[in-house]
């Protein structure tokens, strides 16, 4: 196998000097893509990506689609390192077939996303946005909010971020219900959580917070039927993936008052532009607190994920195995084609 090019293209913003230094100390040429203001790499066409990545052996990527066609057009691209933990936009089978390595920045952003999820619970429960809007309009009348303290919170998914959310919720003395495909009795005893099936979680929870990957099985986990099963006035928090929620059904439930509010960092329109009008309606509602997929975007969180992403590229270039929790596909000979 010939030595890969040590040219590394970064198509993510906020890539810090310390992470550049990790790459440069390994003999890499680092190219920081200059994207137009407001443009993310997820909006780049395959042709634009091919132009950016010509001659690169490594790519530190955000939300761009990594397709078989793209990889075929870039035969020298060996390491694809996501500065994040989702990989539903990457064709893993193609990466394995074509001998590439795909990594994620596991362990870098869970604290930042968990903080945001808790912040959104507090914001929608205490109606911060509504209260400030009234004050700006000249009214200082008090709006009645809802505690997070000792409420029932349903956590859907128990990966690194889900567990970080559980850890924080314990400080609020919340009753914590968890729905996961892999219940762990020892963890339940240690963390003081109760594992339940999703229908029971929806039925019993005051807040439902989503921390599951987006798969065909989890798409539209929250839809009209599941919302109908929830407590009237409950809150939905989604800092995971937009497709977990039917935004159209969520909008209807919020407009009718069936749900009390929502905290949303992700939207279906990120992958389906036809749903942009639904997103626009959601973020205009006074009982919705929204962010532009920014849960991991703290200075500290990005520094951590940048460094993990950079080190994974270096490991691949040096012929080493990146940390196993970071590897989602490895098509190199002798690696078991994970």
- Please confirm, yes or no, whether 270 is among the known catalytic residues: yes
Alpha-carbon distance 324 to 160, whole Å?
15
Whole-angstrom distance between the N-terminal and C-terminal Cα of the chain?
Answer: 19
Query: Is 337 known to be catalytic?
Result: no
DSSP letters for 303-317: HHHHHHHHHHHHHHH
Give the three-state DSSP class for 329: strand
The catalytically annotated residue of 82, 151, 293, 304 is: 293
Catalytic site residue from 231, 241, 258, 304? 241
Give the CA radius of gyration of the chain: 21
Q: Which two tokens stand for residue 114?
A: 């968990």
Q: Is 255 left (phi over 0), alpha (psi -120 to 50) or beta?
A: alpha
Residues 6+ apart with CB under 8 A from 125: 145, 146, 147, 148, 151, 207, 235, 260, 261
Q: Rounded to 5 degrees, what are φ and ψ at 93? A: -60, -40
Sheet holding 327-330, edge to edge: 29-32, 7-10, 58-61, 79-82, 101-103, 327-330
| Of 216, 262, 283, 271, the residue nearest 242 (C-alpha) | 271
Rounded-to-integer distance, Cα 19 and Cα 157, Å? 30
Catalytic residue among 63, 83, 270, 304: 270
Whether 293 is catalytic is yes
The catalytic residues are: 241, 270, 293
């Amino acid at each position: 196998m010939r030595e890969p090019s040590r040219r590394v293209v970064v198509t993510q913003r906020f890539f810090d000097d310390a992470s550049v230094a990790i790459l440069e100390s390994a003999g890499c040429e680092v190219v920081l893509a200059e994207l137009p203001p407001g443009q993310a790499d997820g909006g780049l066409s395959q042709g634009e990506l091919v132009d950016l990545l010509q001659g690169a052996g490594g790519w530190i990527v955000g939300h761009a689609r990594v397709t078989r066609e793209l990889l075929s057009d870039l035969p020298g691209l060996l390491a694809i390192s996501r500065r994040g933990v989702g990989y539903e936009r990457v064709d893993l089978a193609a990466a394995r077939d074509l001998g590439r390595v795909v990594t994620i920045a596991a362990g870098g952003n869970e604290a930042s996303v968990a903080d945001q999820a808790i912040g959104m619970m507090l914001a929608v429960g205490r109606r911060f946005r509504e209260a400030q809007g009234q004050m700006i309009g000249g009214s200082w009348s008090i709006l009645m909010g809802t505690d997070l303290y000792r409420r029932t919170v349903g956590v859907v998914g128990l990966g690194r971020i889900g567990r970080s959310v559980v850890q924080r919720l314990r400080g609020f003395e919340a009753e914590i219900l968890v729905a996961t495909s892999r219940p762990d009795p020892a963890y339940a005893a240690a963390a003081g959580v109760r594992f339940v099936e999703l229908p029971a979680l929806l039925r019993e929870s005051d807040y439902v917070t989503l921390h599951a990957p987006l798969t065909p099985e989890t798409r539209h986990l929250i839809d009209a039927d599941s919302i109908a099963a929830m407590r009237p006035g409950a809150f939905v928090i989604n800092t995971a993936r937009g497709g977990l929620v039917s935004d159209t059904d969520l909008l209807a439930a919020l407009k009718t008052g069936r749900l009390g509010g929502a905290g949303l960092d992700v939207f279906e329109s990120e992958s389906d532009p036809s749903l942009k009008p639904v997103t626009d309606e959601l973020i205009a509602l006074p009982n919705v607190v929204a962010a532009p997929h920014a849960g991991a975007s703290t200075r500290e969180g990005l520094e951590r994920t940048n460094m993990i992403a950079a080190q994974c590229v270096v490991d691949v270039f040096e012929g080493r195995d990146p940390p196993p929790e970071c590897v989602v596909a490895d098509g190199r000979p002798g690696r078991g084609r994970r």
